[in-house]
Structure formats: C-alpha cells, structure tokens
Amino acid sequence: MDDSGSKETAREIVVPGELLSTKKMRAGPGTFVEGGKIYAAQLGIKNVRPDGVSVVPLAGQYIPMRDDLVVGKIIDIGPSNWLVDINSPYPAPLHVNEVPWRVEFGETSKFMNVGDIVLLKIVDVSETKRITVSMQDSGLRKLTGGMVVEVSPSKVPRLIGRNGSMIQMLKNETGCRIYVGQNGRIWIDGDLDNIVKAINAIKMIEEEAHSLGLTEKVKKFLEQNTGKGA
Amino acid sequence: MGGTPTDLKLIDENGRRLDGRLPDEMRPLKIEAGVLSRADGSAYVEWGLNKVMAAVYGPRECHPRHLQNPERALVQCNYNMASFSVDDRKRPGPDRRSHEISKIISEALTHVVFTEYFPRTSIDVYIEVLQANAGTRCAGLTAASVALADAGVPMRDLVASCAAGKVADTVVVDLAKEEDNFGQADIPLGYVPRTGEIVLLQMDGDLTSDQFNKGISMAMEGCKKVYEVQRDALKRRYEVRSAGTELEVLGAAPAKEGM
C-alpha cells in the first residue's frame, strides 16, 4: 500500500553503471542515458513505471532543491546574516531580510545565536549551487526546545510516507510535534517518553526503509510501546 | 632477462606458479561494502594476502578553498600504507610512491564520477593498506570504487582493477609478492567494464608488444571478474540488511562469504 514501486515486481537493487532499459522511455532521477540506453547512476532500487524508469537511492548526501523545507543549525553570525548548516555540502547564509523580524545591522546575535535550530525554506539554488534560504513563510521559525535527530537524507521520503501517511501516524501515535527537513534532520518536541518512542520509531524506519509494509510494522511497534512509559 | 635474480622457481614444470595458480588464474578476492559506520561509504577488500580498507566522505565542502572548482566536484584520494603492512616496517607518512598512487587513483575515479553534479565540493577517498602483498593499488582502486558507490555517489560505472605481468618469460595475471619482486614486468590496469575504457595504466619492466597486448587482455579479463565481485558486494550489503541479521555479521569479523 505504501511501497514506492508496483507490488508485483520484486525490489531490485542496482549498482552504478547497470543497464536499466534499452527502450526509449523517460530517464528519471538516479539514471543517465548513453547511446540511447538508460543506466543506473547510483546504488539504489530500480523503479519502473509506465512513463519511465528511475533509481531510488539507498545512500547519499542531501543536495538542496528549491522549495525544500530544511532543519538548519546556526554555525556562524555575521553583521547582516547568519550562516546555517543544512547538512549539505553547501552552507546556507540566511540574510536579515529573510527573517520575520526587523534586525538592525550588527544586531543579528540579539535574535539568533550559534547553535540555534531553525526551520527554513530553500528559496533558490543557483547553477553553482549557491543557496538562498528564507524564514519568511508560514510555519518557518526558530525552533526552541525539543530534540534533533538525523537520518540519511535518502530515507526522508520513506519517513514522510505517501502523502505524509507515515509521519502523520507518528505524530498521532506519539503526540509529539515533529518537523522533518528534507535534509534528513528531524526536530521533535513533546514528553520525554514520547520523544524517545518517536526516535526509536524513526531509527526503525531508517533501518528498514526498503522493506515492504513498513507503515504497518511501525504502527504495530508504536502500539506495543504505548503505555509502557519508559 | 630483466628482474631481480633469484633462486626461486617462479613457474614450475607444470606451468604452475609459486602458489599453485595457472598463469591466467587470480588470487581469491573478497569484498565487503559498508564496513565503517562513521564514513559516508566504505569497503573492505581481501585480495590474496592483501587487506585494504577504503572510506569515502562527501560530497562535502571543499577545503582548502582555492582547490574548489566552480563547475565540478574534486575527487581527492589518499592512499596510505600502514607501517605494519609490509615485512620491514614502513616509515609512516606520505612518500613519493603513495603520492603517485593517490594521484592516479583519483584520476581514475574522477573519470567515472558525475563530478558536474556537485560543483565546489570535494569527494574524499581514503585508502588504507593494512596488509600488502603486491597489487595494492589495484586492490585500493577496487575498494575505492565500491566505497564510492556505497556512499551513494552518482557514477557512470564501477571501476574494476587488476594487474598483469611477466614472470619467468610467461605473461601472467594478478602477480603475488614474489612474482612482483623477482618477475620481469608488472602492468596494473584500471578498467570500466561497461564501456571498455582504460582509466589507469602503468608499466614497470620490459615487455614486447605481443606480451604487452596479451598482458592487457589478461588484466581486462581479470577486471571483469573483479567487477562481478564488486557488484555482488554492493547488492549483498542491502540484501543482508533486509533479512535483519546485519549487525552480527558486521559487528564481528568480516563475513566469510563470497569468493
């Protein structure tokens, strides 16, 4: 029900350079075309759809994309900007014009300091991967309290689930407030017991990201642990 | 003719080599992917008596900054031999040989990685030779390409590597230590199996052009076998995982499966 391929075909793991298709079809993410044939570019799971073929990666760094929601950490302060680590090869400067407050020149540290966790949106990624982030959109803000856990960015789609089914269930079952950044950082706030439970569930999802029927498994896991407290 | 003189009979009357292999036979090869948890990707290779570990970090921000390329990623490789990897203790630290090997391996890998996807970054590859027995640059390149794939780096293909050489006037594949020391020639080869491209080629010693061509084709055949093992190692990593038994296998000594 929530597996990302068709149910009949077994999940085939492909390695870089493996031939995916000789037919003319759309070459999706994680693939490349050479001499009219489609090959896998990454280690991942082959995903064949009627309109094309793609590879769902099993590992990899987070590469920023426009309109992604990310959980960042302030690592440096300038007089008119903050430097945010968004768990990618590229640092993201957050300019004072992109925050919801009016900040005078040189007063950036009055608002946010090194180590603070922020929820941001990637506004733009240039050709040379220069990144612009913003905190001016509904829901974007500085995150106070709570905990941050990291998972491999390639597992984020699985954690969110189809139309957010997985993360919605996690929120309902644990009663925690959870933000999942596309960069693999997850911010969780709630009762300590519930946070621990949510983290365990997240680790389980990461561990078994490519197994079938995961939503059911996680649901069972969460129900078993309900009421135990510790 | 050529090579260091020795009393060793490198090839016997039956055409067998010191360790009993035929000229076109390779040493046993075993690869395991994902052995290090703190690296983005890693691989461990046991090739005969060679033991080599490779770790990949990145793509990550490139330091020092002046090395950054605004159009593509930089594949930086660092080949290092442990001081205990050879009979006489090797003086630790980089030397002429390890510089050279680092350079040719990073060039070989740059050729298959989609560097244009990650401008201004570097992909760092660390190759540690834990035990050496001739052919460590081939083992290192083999391990490095598995580690890169394990790190999820987009590549055109895996690079397989294998050596050929001349021992007692016979062209043989995959030289062992004695054959390398007392043989007449050694040709390490890095090969892209899908396209048939050669991304690494060196030669030490003298060969006639016939011997050279024979050596190259033998090394290519070797590379194809290496490629199969590399592919299996990557696929096995996730198949083992999905069975849910990975921790016992990975936590203890490297799994004794494979070739």
Q: What pLDDT sits at residue B238?
A: 83
Q: What pLDDT sits at residue B244?
A: 46
The answer to whether the CB atoms of A58 and B152 lie below 8 A apart is: yes
- Any chain A CB within 8 A of the CB of B70? yes
What is the distance between the alpha carbons of residues A176 and A174, in angstroms, rounded to a whole number? 5
- The rounded Cα A41 to chain-centroid distance in angstroms is 21
Which of these, A225, A224, A214, A220, lies nearest to A161 by C-alpha position? A214
The band of B253, judged by pLDDT with boundaries at 50, 70 and 90, is very low
Question: Measured between CB atoms, which of B119, B150, B192 is closest to A59?
Answer: B150
Q: What is the pLDDT of residues A30-59, one digit of tens each?
A: 999 999 999 999 999 999 988 899 999 999
- Any chain A CB within 8 A of the CB of B28? no
Tokens of B165: 């050489």
Domains, chain B, with CATH or none: 29-238 (3.30.230.70)
Q: What pLDDT sits at residue A216?
A: 83
| Strand spans (E) along chain B | 29-33, 41-47, 50-61, 74-81, 121-131, 160-167, 170-173, 185-192, 197-201, 204-205
- Any chain A CB within 8 A of the CB of B209? no
Q: Given a cut of 50, is residue A1 above it in pLDDT?
A: no
Percent of chain B at pLDDT > 90 equals 85
Question: Measured between CB atoms, which of A15, A32, A210 is closest to B158?
Answer: A15
- Any chain B CB within 8 A of the CB of A160? no
The answer to whether the CB atoms of A60 and B152 lie below 8 A apart is: yes
User: Number of H helices and number of E strands within chain A?
Assistant: 4, 16
The band of B250, judged by pLDDT with boundaries at 50, 70 and 90, is very low
- Any chain A CB within 8 A of the CB of B232? no
Average pLDDT score over residue span B8-24: 92
A–B: how many Cβ contacts below 8 A?
92
- Any chain A CB within 8 A of the CB of B84? no
Which of these, A158, A133, A150, A209, lies nearest to A184 by C-alpha position? A150
Domains, chain A, with CATH or none: 13-57 (2.40.50.100), 69-143 (2.40.50.140), 147-225 (3.30.1370.10)
Average pLDDT score over residue span A85-112: 94
Beta bridge partners of B189: B162, B201
Which chain B residue has its CA at the smallest distance from A44's CA?
Answer: B152
Q: What pLDDT sits at residue B6?
A: 78
Q: What pLDDT sits at residue B242?
A: 52
The answer to whether the CB atoms of A17 and B157 lie below 8 A apart is: yes
Average pLDDT score over residue span A11-28: 92
Return the top range by mean pLDDT from A162-166, A213-217, B1-5. A162-166
Check residues B36 and A24 and name the one with the higher pLDDT: B36
Give the sign of the dihedral formed by CA A211, CA A214, CA A218, CA A224: negative
Letter string b/e over residues A10-48, b meaning 16 or more CB atoms within 10 A of that residue's CB = ebebbbbbbebbeeeeebbebbbeeeeebbbbbbbbbbb
The answer to whether the CB atoms of A16 and B117 lie below 8 A apart is: no
The band of B185, judged by pLDDT with boundaries at 50, 70 and 90, is very high
Q: Given a cut of 60, is residue A94 above it in pLDDT?
A: yes
Q: What are phi and psi of A102, to 5 degrees?
A: -90, 115
> Which of B197, B223, B234 would best serve as a mutation to test chain A binding (most A beta carbons within 10 A)?
B234
Q: Given a cut of 50, is residue A99 above it in pLDDT?
A: yes
Average pLDDT score over residue span A99-125: 95
The answer to whether the CB atoms of A59 and B119 lie below 8 A apart is: no
